[in-house]
Amino acid sequence: MGFRILLLIMGLSVTSCGPSLQKLQEDTSGKQRQFRTLVITTEKTEWTGILLSADSSGITLKQKREHIYIPVKDIWELRFRRKGSVSKGIGIGLLAGAGIGLAVGVGSEPSEPDNIGGALAAGPSKSIAAGASAVGFGILGGLLGGIAGTHNPIKLYIRGNPTNYFNYYNDLRHLSFEREPAP
């Protein structure tokens, strides 16, 4: 029963981790955030990179050694994911899962004491259970955290329409790495 409740709590915490445009825009650390951006053009070509800038006529992506400018009329869809969110999700999931597993393992009672001449009553089996639970829940938490970090990117549908683009223009400027003053 307790294990099912624990899995329910972990499941609910992972499903509430999906990003929203508002979450992506919040800047609590004071650092400049970078967003992995996927641009699907009207010709179904895909470009990936960091959103460098957004102006009234299009966007600029930064790839490894080049900058790519894509005009508004060629943008079909934009997808954003905060840089490092997958590794951060895995790390948080591993730590949370290991902590929960350790708590479950320490709190569990051994089914029968170890009988090695009666000297080791219940100590080693409790520590083995705690370690095994920490590893098991750590792996499970890491997997769930990685899944939470990769799913639900923010999608903006432009469809080559300047009106749609301008509906998201302020958001795009805010998400871009080089923020320009408002016109």
pLDDT tens-place string over residues 2-30? 555 555 555 545 444 444 455 554 444 55
Q: How far is 155 from 81, CA to CA, in rounded Å?
A: 9
Spell out a b/e string for 60-83, using b for 16 or more CB atoms within 10 Å of the CB, else e: bbbeeeeeeebebebbbbbbbbbe
Q: Where does residue 58 fall: left (phi above 0), alpha (psi -120 to 50 degrees), or beta otherwise?
A: left
pLDDT tens-place string over residues 87-122? 777 777 777 777 777 777 666 655 555 555 444 444
pLDDT band at 61; cut points 50, 70, 90: very high
Q: How far is 118 from 141, CA to CA, in rounded Å?
A: 37
- Position 66 scores a pLDDT of 94
Q: In terms of Cα–Cα distance, which of 183, 163, 162, 164 is closest to 173?
A: 183
Q: Are strands 46-55 and 67-71 parallel, antiparallel or unpaired?
A: unpaired
Two structure tokens written together for 43: 């010709």
Alpha helix positions (H), 65-157: 85-107, 123-150
Residue 58, pLDDT > 50, answer yes
